[in-house]
Amino acid sequence: MIPAPSAFLPEGVAGRIRKVAAAAEKLGRLHPDMLALAYEQQWFRALVPKRYGGLALPLPAMVRLEEGLSWADGSLGWTVTLCSGAGWFAGFFPASFLAMGRQSPGEEKKEPEGLFSDPALCLAGSGSASGRADLVDGGYRVEGRWGYASGAAHATAFTANCVIYEGGMPVIEAGGLLVRPFLFLREEAAINHDWNAVGLVATGSHGFAVRGLVVPAERMFTIAAEEAVDDDPLYRYPFLPLAEATIAANSSGMAQHFLDCCVEWGVGGADLEAGRLELEERRTVFYSELDHSWEQGGRGTPEGVSRASKELAAASLYWVDRLYPKSGLGAARVDTVINRVWRDCHTASQHPLLRGS
C-alpha cells in the first residue's frame, strides 16, 4: 500500500504550511513563512544538479514530495512543482552559460555569478511558444509575452519558449517551426500581474514579457536526454512523463486534502469510502509505473506513467465533484478551507497536460 501523502513530508511541516495558507491566499502569493520553509528545505532547488548545490532528487522521491506538499496546501505544492520543474532545466546548460549569462554579446566575459547556486533560486516560466527569437551577431534578440508563470512574484529568473527566426524568416526543422526555450534574468522581464483565477490564488501565476532583449546564445537550451550536460539519470528521463507525473501528483494531493475536509464537514458514507478506495488504487498503479520507469532509466514504460498520471488526475477531480454537493451550502463560503481546496482542485485541472484526461 502506498503511504498517505502526509507521510511524504517532514514532521510538523504540514502544520506550518496550513497555518498561513489562508493568509497566503489573501496576499495572492506564497506567504513569507512558506517561502522561508521552501528555502530551508531547498524545495525550489530539489531538481537542480548537485554540482550547483542542488538536491537532484530521484524523480519518484520528488513526485512523492510534491503530492505531500499539495495535500498540505495546493498553492504551495503547485508552485514548488512548477518552479522546481524549471530548475530541472539547469541540467541542460553547459558550464559556459554561467560565465556568459549576465552580459550581452560582444562584452568581455565576466566571472560566473552562481545563478543556479543561489539558495533563493526560483525559476518560473511558460511552455507556450509565444515568443520570437531572431538570430543576431553572437546571440538572439527576443520579443515575447507569456502567461501563467507560477511563482513569478519571487522568481529569480524565467524560462520561456520562442520561435527561432533567421534573416527575418522562421526556421523550419523536421517540417515544423523551430521552437527553443530561453532563460531570462528577473531584471530583464516585466511581470504583468494578471493572475486572477478562482483557485491556486497564492501561486501568483502572473504573465511576463521581454521587449527587444538581446541575449547570448548560451541562454538558449534544448530539453532532450542527449543534450543533458549532467550525468545524473534525472536529466536523462523523458520530459513529458516527468511533467505529467508531477502535475498528477498535485491533483492527487489536493483531492485527498478535499476528502479529509469532507470528513470534517460530516460527509461520510459509501461515496466517501469509494472515493478513498479508488484514489488508493489509482495511486498504487501510478507509483508502480513511475518507480518501474525510473528504475529502467525512463526506457521502461514512460507511456505507462503517462496513462497512470492522467487516470489519477481524472479520478481525483471526479471524486471532488462527486462529494462537494454533499458538504452543504456552508462549503460554498470562500473563507472555508474546503472551498479553497475545491477551487484549487478545479484550477489545477485546467492545466493543458491534464485537461481532457
pLDDT at residue number 357: 44
Global pTM reads 0.94
Q: Where are the domains of the chain?
A: 5-91, 122-223, 237-348
CA distance 42 to 68: 15
CA distance 184 to 134: 15
Q: Please, is 329 exposed, middle or buried when counting C-beta atoms within 10 Å of its C-beta (0-12, 13-18, 19+)? A: exposed
Structurally, what CATH architecture does the domain formed by 237-348 represent?
Up-down Bundle (1.20)
Per-residue pLDDT tens digits for 95-154 = 667 644 444 455 544 333 588 999 999 999 999 999 999 999 989 999 999 999 999 999
pLDDT at residue number 102: 47
> In Å, what is the CA distance from 313 to each residue of 252, 286, 346?
6, 10, 11
Per-residue pLDDT tens digits for 196-221 = 999 999 999 999 999 999 999 999 99
In this model, does residue 309 exceed pLDDT 90? yes
For residue 216, the cross-strand partners are 139
pLDDT at residue number 201: 98
Closest Cα partner for 217 from 58, 326, 47, 100? 100
**Maximum Cα–Cα distance for the chain, whole Å?**
70
- CATH superfamily for domain 5-91: Acyl-CoA dehydrogenase/oxidase, N-terminal domain (1.10.540.10)
CA distance 312 to 297: 22
Topology of domain 122-223 in CATH is Butyryl-CoA Dehydrogenase, subunit A; domain 2 (2.40.110)
SS3 content of the chain, % helix, strand, coil (to 5): 50, 15, 30
Rg, C-alpha atoms of the chain: 21
What backbone torsions phi and psi does residue 121 show, to the nearest 5 degrees?
-50, 135
